[in-house]
Amino acid sequence: MSATQILEPDHLAAVQRRTLRVVVGSQVLGGAGLAAGVAVGALLAADMLGGEGYAGVPTALFTLGSALAAFLVGRYTQRLGRRTGLGVGFAAGGLGAIGVVIAAVIGSVPLLFVAFFVYGSGTATNLQARYAGADLAAPEHRGRAISVAMVSTTLGAVAGPNLIEPLGSLASALGIPALAGPFLLAAVAYLAAGATLLALLRPDPYLLAQQLAGPDDELAADDGAAPRWSRSVIAGATVMILTQIMMVAVMTMTPVHMRAHDHSLGDVGLVIGIHIGAMFLPSLVTGALVDRIGRLWMSVAGGVTLLAAGLAAALAPADSLGLLIVALALLGLGWNFGLIAGTALIVDGTSVRNRAGVQGSIDVLIALAGAGAGAASGVVAAAAGFGFLAISTAVLTLVMLPVLLWSRSAARAN
């Protein structure tokens, strides 16, 4: 297909549809890689390190790894396109998952730490793929384009945690510790996602968007026409950072909290599976609402939902599986609102020429915030309890409200 043909609306729409199909395929695989490991990472660390206070270490490590990966994926995308940036990122995540399995087999804590760090590349890449859906989308359809990339994660993300027990049985049969079993799935899923993108994401949507913008496009040049850190970008980053802090902290400690109160691994898989489903499954509806009622109002809805999640988690009796499901479902839904609305705010506030770099930088901040939350979650829960952890992080998310008001006042002034 020639560049002239691509400029035709019908051909451009066809390219966008193909892009979304490829992204959907990679995200199904990526979701399985993400969720399978996240569900048992804290349990594996507590088992190998010998204490609940260490349960947040894996989340901190793979979130720190995702921070570096987000930066590198953003920079590679800026220079080489989405295909290369996302493909290499998923491949690194797969290698990290293999390293976790080897570390569990030989009982090596240093290797476990390094492997969790590299495994974080898959998490960062899975999130960055949401931007690929919006590269060629019209401004009024960006929320829905982002949501298509996210909702496709649901199938793999929900299946992963619910395969904990059979994967554990398979691992035991192979002479591998049962808690390392889900990382076998993560390795295969991440490597397959990377191969899918490298082979099929053609033409590259980000490079094509740059070509279509052209030198005369008012948002194309890096001359200040689209500020790198406009109020829209700052508001979007704030929403996503705060929602990530709460989601990571509470999700990390939920399996440990449940196991401490005699819930089975199957119960843990069910709760985390529903939580991750709530993170991604509502995306199509969320994306439509973001486009229809606005980015700021959906961000506010995310904050309110997270507050409800914190209250539910804090008040739920430890032996109540049903209330824990409600709390973690609300946690996932609030995160979904915040991520899609925040992502749309960032795409709106950036130039096509600098967008990938800005997106990567913001995802670094999100990952670092999540790393801090993961590292602190075990200590806070051990010292003050799971309920205090849930309610304190929920209150923290309300900081987004004055930032959103500030952003809205600037938009009205303009």
SS3 at position 168: helix
Residue 222 within any structural domain of the chain: no
The secondary structure of the chain in percent helix, strand, coil, rounded to multiples of 5, reads: 85, 0, 15
- Judged against a pLDDT cut of 90, whether residue 8 lies above it is answered with no
CA distance 148 to 116: 28
- Kindly report, residue by residue over 164-176, the tens digit of the pLDDT: 778 788 888 888 8
CA distance 145 to 151: 10
Mean pLDDT of 80-97: 94
- Judged against a pLDDT cut of 60, whether residue 213 lies above it is answered with yes
- Judged against a pLDDT cut of 70, whether residue 209 lies above it is answered with yes
Residue 43 within any structural domain of the chain: yes
122 within 8 A of 30, measured Cβ to Cβ = yes
Short-list 27, 132, 142, CA closest to 82? 132
Give the domain range for residue 25: 3-210+228-413
- Judged against a pLDDT cut of 70, whether residue 81 lies above it is answered with yes
Give the count of domains, the chain: 1
- Kindly report, residue by residue over 338-385, the tens digit of the pLDDT: 999 999 999 888 887 778 888 888 988 988 888 788 878 888 988 898
Give the CA radius of gyration of the chain.
20
What is the token pair recorded at 128?
Answer: 């960055």
Distances (CA, A) of 185 to 113, 149, 161, 355: 19, 21, 11, 33
CA distance 390 to 381: 9
- Kindly report, residue by residue over 261-310, the tens digit of the pLDDT: 778 878 888 888 788 789 888 998 999 999 999 999 999 999 999 999 99
Using a 10 angstrom Cβ sphere, with 0-12 exposed, 13-18 middle and 19 or more buried, the burial of residue 200 is middle
The set of long-range contacts for 139-145, using a CB threshold of 8 Å and a minimum separation of 24, is 139/348, 140/291, 141/291, 142/291, 142/344, 142/347, 142/348, 143/286, 143/287, 143/288, 143/289, 143/290, 143/291, 143/295, 143/340, 143/341, 143/344, 144/284, 144/287, 144/288, 144/291, 145/16, 145/20, 145/287
Residue 223 within any structural domain of the chain: no
What is the token pair recorded at 209?
Answer: 């968007």
> Taking the complete model, does pTM exceed 0.95, yes or no?
no
Provide the CA 223 distance to its chain's centre, in angstroms: 31
| pLDDT the model gives residue 223 | 42
What is the token pair recorded at 277?
Answer: 């489903």
Q: What percent of the chain has pLDDT over 90?
A: 35
Other beta carbons within 10 Å of 3 = 10
Lowest-confidence range among 17-26, 105-114, 134-143? 134-143
* Residue listed under structure tokens 């995200």: 27
Q: What percent of the chain has pLDDT over 70?
A: 89
Distances (CA, A) of 180 to 28, 37, 148, 165, 329: 21, 8, 31, 11, 25
Please provide residue 349's backbone torsions phi and psi, each rounded to the nearest 5 degrees.
Answer: -95, 10
Helices 142-151 & 283-293 angle (0-180, nearest 10): 170
CA distance 367 to 127: 10
What is the token pair recorded at 117?
Answer: 């760090």
Contacts for 250 with CB less than 8 Å, ≥ 6 apart: 309, 310, 313, 327, 328, 331, 377, 389, 390, 393
Distances (CA, A) of 282 to 114, 306, 334: 34, 15, 10
Kindly tell me the sign of the dihedral angle through the C-alpha atoms of 2, 193, 83, 140: positive
What CATH number corresponds to the domain at position 301?
1.20.1250.20
Residue 87 within any structural domain of the chain: yes
| pLDDT the model gives residue 253 | 87
